[in-house]
Amino acid sequence: MRITVGRDQSGIEKIRDFANWLLDLREDKLGGPNDGETIIDISDDILINNSHDPIGSLINFVYPSILENYININYFQERAILTPKNEVVKEINDCLLKKFPGDEVEYLSLDSICESEFVHDPFDANLYSPDVLNGLKVSGLPNHKLVLKIGVPVMLLRNVDQKNGLCNGTRLKVISLGKRVIEAHIITETNIGNWTSIPRMSLTPSEKKIPSNSQEDSFL
């Protein structure tokens, strides 16, 4: 689904109408009185009609002519795909990454248990092997394997340097992929166009149900 922010009144009205439609959908105000099931009219311009390749169809809709436009920073400022689940995010990212030219660069996290969490309890390393830790999908942390290419848009998952605009949700465009540092241009918020570098860093999940472990990775 794409929302392009327009500068004229008609563009603003379209965004307002779409936002009101989403609110009405959430509050069950569409389709009239019902007992839990109803028929809702959905505009053709937000429907995916290709049942054989819905992800590819969505990407082509939101990012048309991507090879001709991906160098342009404004191209990614005006477009985004929102999904409710991380599994869908990965599927879209993998499909979108294949469309970019150049070689892939793979980053792997270094997962380990913080043994200080087990001062008063016995620690069994077999319960938390690297394979187990690498398979965890934790909110606010990147997956164990991160694959990037030069030119792809990325998003920060935490506040890194708020003074320079590197906050949770900031979007960037990759310009260089080093072994321990990723260089990028900021494409959203207040510091659009600024160059920055993101080093590998130690991250600790906030989830209380799993033992604290550090993931040394980048930022996705």
Share of the chain above pLDDT 70, in %: 79
pLDDT at 127: 65
For residue 130, being part of any structural domain is answered with: yes
Q: Which of 147, 153, 146 is CA-nearest to residue 70?
A: 153
* pTM across the whole model: 0.70
**211 is written with which tokens?**
């033992």
Residue 157 sits in which domain range? 102-220
For 104-148, give the DSSP string.
Answer: -EEEE--EEE-GGGGSSS---GGGG-HHHHHT---TTS--SEEEE
For residue 192, being part of any structural domain is answered with: yes
For residue 206, being part of any structural domain is answered with: yes
Question: β-strands 195-199, 213-217: how paired?
Answer: unpaired
For residue 204, being part of any structural domain is answered with: yes
Name the DSSP class of 164: G
Specify the number of domains making up the chain.
1
Vertex 147 angle, CA 74 and 108, to 5°? 135
Q: Given the structure tokens 């563009």, which residue do they identify?
A: 11
172 or 210: whose pLDDT is higher? 172
E strand intervals along the chain: 105-108, 111-113, 145-148, 153-155, 171-177, 181-186, 195-199, 201-203, 213-217
Based on C-alpha coordinates, what's the Rg of the chain?
A: 21
Cβ count within 10 A of residue 188: 19
Cβ count within 10 A of residue 143: 20
Instruction: Say if residue 175's pLDDT is above 50.
Output: yes
For residue 168, being part of any structural domain is answered with: yes
In angstroms, the CA 175 to CA 189 distance is 18
Lowest mean pLDDT among 46-50, 164-168, 176-180: 46-50
User: What length does the chain have?
Assistant: 220
Q: Which of 164, 207, 201, 161 is CA-nearest to residue 181?
A: 201
Lowest mean pLDDT among 14-28, 37-51, 69-83, 181-195: 37-51
